[in-house]
Amino acid sequence: MSKTDLKEPASRARQVQQPGLCMARREFLILGGSAVAVLATVGSGAMAQQLVSSGYTRKVIGRLSELQPGSEVSFTYPTDDIENALVMLNEPAGGGIGPDRNVVAFNVVCPHMGSYMTGTFKAEHSVMGPCPLHLSTFDLTKHGMVVSGHASVSLPQIVLEADGDEIVATGVMGLFYGYNRNPSGA
C-alpha cells in the first residue's frame, strides 16, 4: 500500500472539525442571530419606551377622534423645524396607539439623503414612499423599516401615548437626518 492510498479524500478532510474554539460559519451565524434576538428582547416594553422618551418634552399633536383611516396629518416635534406625519393605518402597527393600535407617527425626512417625503403615504400598503431621490420606501406597520430603496436605516418613529382622546408625542426612536444627536425640544 502506498502513502497516497492512506490519505483521506479532500472532501472528507474538510468535514473534520478542529478541536478548540473554532466554529463553523453556520454556527457563528446562528449564535450571532440568537444573541441579537435576546439583546433586542431584553430592552423591550415599558423600559425601552422610558429610555426613548426620557429627555423629550411631551407635546399634544392631535386627537384620536379627529383622525380618519388612511389620513396623514403634519406636525412638528420635538422642535418647530422638524416635520413629522401622524397617520392612522388600516391595520395594527408596531408602536401604534388607540383602540386598534393603528395610529403612528414618523419623521418625513428620508434617512438616506434627507429628501422630504411629505405626501408619499400610501394607505393601501401602509408604507411611506417612495422617496423622490432614490425611491426608498418604509413599512409603517414595522416601525418604519426599509422595504426597498437605498436607505439603510428605518424612518425615525415618534413615540406616542394616548391621554384620553389626545395624542401625545413623548420621544423619538431613531436619529433624524442631518443630526448627530436628536434635539430634545427642552
Residue 180 pLDDT exceeds 80: yes
In the set 125, 134, 143, 150, the catalytic residue is 134
> What percent of the chain lies above the pLDDT cut of 70?
76
Residue 141 pLDDT exceeds 70: yes
Asked whether residue 62 falls in the same domain as residue 148, the answer is yes
Q: What is the mean pLDDT of residues 53-71?
A: 90
In this structure, of 10-14, 144-148, 172-176, the range with the lowest mean pLDDT score is: 10-14
What's the CA gap between 34 and 28, in Å, rounded? Answer: 10
pLDDT in tens, 17-57: 555 556 677 777 777 777 766 665 555 555 455 555 568 89
In the set 112, 125, 143, 150, the catalytic residue is 112
Q: What is the mean pLDDT of residues 86-93?
A: 96
Residue 72 pLDDT exceeds 70: yes
Residue that is written with C-alpha cell 396629518 in the block? 73
Asked whether residue 48 falls in the same domain as residue 60, the answer is no
Q: What is the pLDDT of residue 40?
A: 58
In this structure, of 34-43, 85-94, 124-133, the range with the lowest mean pLDDT score is: 34-43
Model confidence, pTM: 0.73
Residue 16 binned pLDDT confidence (cut-offs 50, 70, 90): low
Residue 4 lies in a domain: no
Q: Report the domain count for the chain.
A: 2
Residue 72 lies in a domain: yes
Q: Is there a contact between 121 and 107 (Cβ–Cβ < 8 Å)? A: no
Asked whether residue 49 falls in the same domain as residue 81, the answer is no
Residue 121 lies in a domain: yes
Residue 3 lies in a domain: no
Asked whether residue 76 falls in the same domain as residue 156, the answer is yes
Print the domain residue range for 31.
22-54
Is 112 a known active-site residue?
yes
- Which of the pair, 154 or 5, is modelled with greater confidence? 154
Q: Is there a contact between 140 and 128 (Cβ–Cβ < 8 Å)? A: yes
Residue 76 binned pLDDT confidence (cut-offs 50, 70, 90): very high
Residue 16 lies in a domain: no
CA atoms within 13 A on the CB side of 19: 0
Is 125 a known active-site residue?
no
Asked whether residue 124 falls in the same domain as residue 99, the answer is yes
Q: Is there a contact between 139 and 165 (Cβ–Cβ < 8 Å)? A: no
Asked whether residue 33 falls in the same domain as residue 65, the answer is no
What's the CA gap between 185 and 79, in Å, rounded? Answer: 5
What's the CA gap between 55 and 100, in Å, rounded? Answer: 28
Is 82 buried (19+), middle (13-18) or exposed (0-12) by CB count in 10 A? buried
